[in-house]
Amino acid sequence: MKLFDVYPLNNITITKALGSYVWDENGAQYLDMYGGHAVISIGHTHPHWVKRMEEQLEKIAFYSNSVMIPLQKELADKLGKISGKEDYQLFLCNSGAEATENALKLASFHNGKKKIVSFTKAFHGRTSLAVAVTDNPAIVAPVNETDNVIFLPFNDEAALEQCFTEHCDQISSVIIEGIQGVGGINVAKDSFLQLIRKLCTQYNAVYIADSVQCGYGRTGQFFSHDSAGVDADIYTMAKGMGNGFPVAGILIAPHIQSKHGMLGTTFGGNHLACAAALAVLEVIEQDNLISMAKQRGMYLLNKLKSIDGLKNVRGRGLMIGFDVPEELKDLRKTLLNDYFVFTGESKPNTIRLLPSLAITRKQTDEFLEALQEAITQLVPAKE
Ligand SMILES: Cc1ncc(COP(=O)(O)O)c(C=O)c1O
């Protein structure tokens, strides 16, 4: 049987990983500045994470949500403490798209309304409603099209105010990434997030903070939305939550009430997923990784800003983007093939950095050196 060919693949087979490095089948070592798409939060195959999962596997890996699973409560308590949202409620699922789907659905159950506000360049996943609030017509199938979604320009306060004035009581939720990832590392202004909070409160709409990519400590705060100093009603989480084990969830504000049967999943919150998520939070706490992400990010951002040729260096913590001019269009490929460094991208010309929060200073320097050399290789200094 053939694989369904949907991914443009690099011709590299990774067989081993540790911390911020991965190795291919020939033993070549790569520096991972991409974190497997922002997923590797505490470092590849972290020993504590491996041990916690192994120990859990020896006991029980899965049972359905028809029985008590105390690990879920342990996870909720730890998550509440580390995120500072102790009075929120946790619903566990398996992927970012599923988190989005549940958040939007729950908002609509909560206020009985249908319209959703989303923003230009947003990415919220590929399932039905998640893709409908994603600003990329190429991945929206005809069956996913809906009149319920209103797209507004990102960070445009006047457009947001006008939309609420026009649609008054029809808006169920506003969904926004604190820092857009797939869209190219676009930072939401604090004043924009504050306005979303104000309007959602005023019009009984639900503020959904998509934290799948920008959350879990990556930006130097648990949720990147925290920088605005206001609380969202629902936070979505996935990627870094399990450090590679599929686990996701939503944090739900106390005023949103649950009802039996309202949400559900077979796999969400299983024993092994909880063990992975707990291991991640334990390492984040023990190694102070949120503050490390802030420090390393600041260091990287400042260094990148001083490199000739890179444009519009932006981001926060370890969620960083920069644009490359036409003459450096092959920079990402060169970094991978000649300098053995993985990075992410956003079309047309943005390079995205999403390394593990445990990246060391030495590794960031190693990256900066490789970057400088790759740039010089592509654009030799003029005499
Ligand atoms: C902001 C954001 N939301 C949602 C998703 C969807 O997550 P998943 O691929 O786990 O379904 C992604 C994935 O890249 C994302 O970046």
CATH number of the domain enclosing 219: 3.40.640.10
Q: Which of 212, 236, 250 to mutate to test the pocket of ligand 1 (most atoms within 8 A of CB)?
A: 212
Mark whether 34 and 87 lie in a shared domain.
Answer: no
CA-nearest residue for atom 8, ligand 1, is: 96
> Which domain does 325 fall in, by range?
14-42+288-378
Mark whether 220 and 329 lie in a shared domain.
Answer: no
- Positions of E strands within the chain: 14-18, 21-24, 29-32, 89-93, 115-119, 149-152, 171-177, 179-180, 186-187, 206-210, 234-237, 248-252, 311-316, 319-323, 341-342, 344-346, 350-353
First to last CA, the chain: 56
In this structure, is residue 130 part of a structural domain? yes
Atom number, ligand 1, closest to the C-alpha of residue 181: 16
Question: pTM value?
Answer: 0.98
Regarding the beta carbon of 125 and ligand 1, being less than 6 Å apart is answered yes
Please report the pLDDT score of residue 200 as a whole number: 98
Q: Which of 214, 239, 247 to mutate to test the pocket of ligand 1 (most atoms within 8 A of CB)?
A: 239
Mark whether 310 and 327 lie in a shared domain.
Answer: yes
Q: Which residues of the chain have pLDDT under 50?
A: 383
Final residue of a structural domain among 255, 286, 317: 286
Q: Is 70 helix (H, G, I), strand (E, B) or coil?
A: helix
What secondary structure letter does DSSP report for 59? H
Atom number, ligand 1, closest to the C-alpha of residue 95: 10
Final residue of a structural domain among 269, 286, 303: 286
Regarding the beta carbon of 181 and ligand 1, being less than 6 Å apart is answered yes
**Of 219, 268, 257, the residue nearest 97 (C-alpha):** 268
Final residue of a structural domain among 264, 286, 308: 286
Regarding the beta carbon of 101 and ligand 1, being less than 6 Å apart is answered no
- HSE toward the beta carbon, residue 70, CA cutoff 13 A: 2
Regarding the beta carbon of 97 and ligand 1, being less than 6 Å apart is answered yes
Please report the pLDDT score of residue 168 as a whole number: 83
Mark whether 36 and 52 lie in a shared domain.
Answer: no
Beta bridge partners, 195, equal: none
Atom number, ligand 1, closest to the C-alpha of residue 127: 11
Burial of 80: CB neighbours in 10 Å, binned 0-12, 13-18, 19+: middle
Ligand 1 centroid from CA 100, angstroms:
8
Mark whether 310 and 242 lie in a shared domain.
Answer: no
In this structure, is residue 191 part of a structural domain? yes
C-alpha distances out from residue 214 to 143, 223, 336, Å = 29, 7, 24
Regarding the beta carbon of 212 and ligand 1, being less than 6 Å apart is answered yes
Burial of 13: CB neighbours in 10 Å, binned 0-12, 13-18, 19+: exposed
CA-nearest residue for atom 4, ligand 1, is: 124
Please report the pLDDT score of residue 382 as a whole number: 55
pLDDT digits (tens, 9 = 90+) for 230-278: 999 999 999 999 999 999 999 999 999 999 999 999 999 999 999 999 9
Q: Are 120 and 153 in contact (CB under 8 A)?
A: yes
Number of domains in the chain: 2
In this structure, is residue 219 part of a structural domain? yes
Q: Which tokens belong to 288?
A: 């102070």
